[in-house]
Amino acid sequence: MMAISNLRKWLATGLLSLAAATTVQADTFVFTAIPDEDETKLVERFRGVADYLQEQLDVEVRYIPVKSYAAAVSAFRNNQVQLAWFGGLSGVQARRLVPGSEAIAQGVEDEAFETYFIANTSTGIQPADSLDELEDELRGKTFTFGSKGSTSGRLMPEFYIRDVFNEAPDSLFSRVGFSGNHTRTLRLVEAGTYEVGALNFQVWEKELENGNIDTDAVQVIWRTPTYPDYQWTIRGDVDERFGDGFKQKVTEALLNLDDPALLESFPRSGFIPASNDDYEPIRATAENIGILD
């Protein structure tokens, strides 16, 4: 029954994405983004990006939100969107499905991204320099990842758990969940719904800066080594649809984006060139733990 229920949810999400995309004019350049934070924040951010790109590219540009990481990958695969802001893993998945697609830009901070492990302070777990120091404190606790398709919220934290403890998360923890996004992971651990969780370090730092974290209730207990993460990925056939040199125009527009408010909303200090090869470590890690076939 659970498998059927999940299939129905997946199909519903895909159909909603398809319905949204089919209302777009054929000459409109459409993009999406993985739903890694609260939807309100994402809509505000990417509508600003759409306005900026439309001005730079001299074509109509539209942002379409999706409800899941899988829906973002599906929309890219089906050419419902031509550009997407992916995480490391979702980008690898999308490019495997669409030959010729390319990672063209990443945030300055995405070259060396981190995951934070956080814990509710009621657990008594104290920050440590290495994950193996926390084995006794973590064993038997409840733990939440973010989305199942998240690089920083699932792939890399699961990799380090397996690598350090030589066992699966379900074995180490008494209960394992998937919150759906980084903001929700933070709130669930802060509230004590889960005792420990893993999330994107940028979300933690941004929420902390804005005074949105109760530091008496939750704290960072470990930081992963760095890895490559978010990037803009574009389909390889955009020049055929929008004209010669269009891919390069999109790339230059993203690399030249310097609006402080837009950059702060990501948050990123700017965008730099990226390539598919930059994400080979993500592909290898995903294959190693069985997320990619």
pTM of structure: 0.82
Q: Is the predicted pLDDT of residue 11 greater than 50, yes or no?
A: no
Mean pLDDT over residues 29-35, rounded? 96
Contact 262, 48 (CB under 8 A): yes
Q: How confident is the model at residue 292 (pLDDT cuts 50, 70, 90)?
A: confident
Q: Is the predicted pLDDT of residue 38 greater than 90, yes or no?
A: no
Share of the chain above pLDDT 70, in %: 91
Mean pLDDT over residues 87-107, rounded? 96
Mean pLDDT over residues 34-41, rounded? 88
Q: For 70-84, how does the pLDDT look when each residue is reduced to its tens digit (9 = 90+)?
A: 999 999 999 999 999
Q: Please report the pLDDT score of residue 288 as a whole number.
A: 86
Q: For 104-154, how does the pLDDT look when each residue is reduced to its tens digit (9 = 90+)?
A: 999 999 999 999 999 999 999 999 999 999 999 999 999 999 999 899 999
Q: Please report the pLDDT score of residue 89 as a whole number.
A: 94
Q: Please report the pLDDT score of residue 289 as a whole number.
A: 85
Q: Is the predicted pLDDT of residue 184 greater than 80, yes or no?
A: yes
Contact 62, 24 (CB under 8 A): yes
Please list, in sequence order, all residues whose beta carbon lies within 8 angstroms of the beta carbon of residue 255, skipping any fewer than 6 positions away. Answer: 105, 271, 272, 273
Q: For 205-221, how does the pLDDT look when each residue is reduced to its tens digit (9 = 90+)?
A: 999 999 999 999 999 99
Q: Is the predicted pLDDT of residue 9 greater than 60, yes or no?
A: no
Plot region of 226 (φ>0 → left; ψ -120 to 50 → alpha; else → beta)? beta
Q: How confident is the model at residue 197 (pLDDT cuts 50, 70, 90)?
A: very high
Domains of the chain and CATH, by start: 2-110+229-288 (3.40.190.10), 114-223 (3.40.190.10)
Q: For 220-256, how does the pLDDT look when each residue is reduced to its tens digit (9 = 90+)?
A: 999 999 999 999 999 999 999 999 999 999 999 999 9
Mean pLDDT over residues 58-81, rounded? 96
Q: How confident is the model at residue 25 (pLDDT cuts 50, 70, 90)?
A: low
**Tokens 């948050």 correspond to what residue?**
267
On average, the pLDDT of the chain sits at 91
Q: Please report the pLDDT score of residue 26 as a whole number.
A: 61
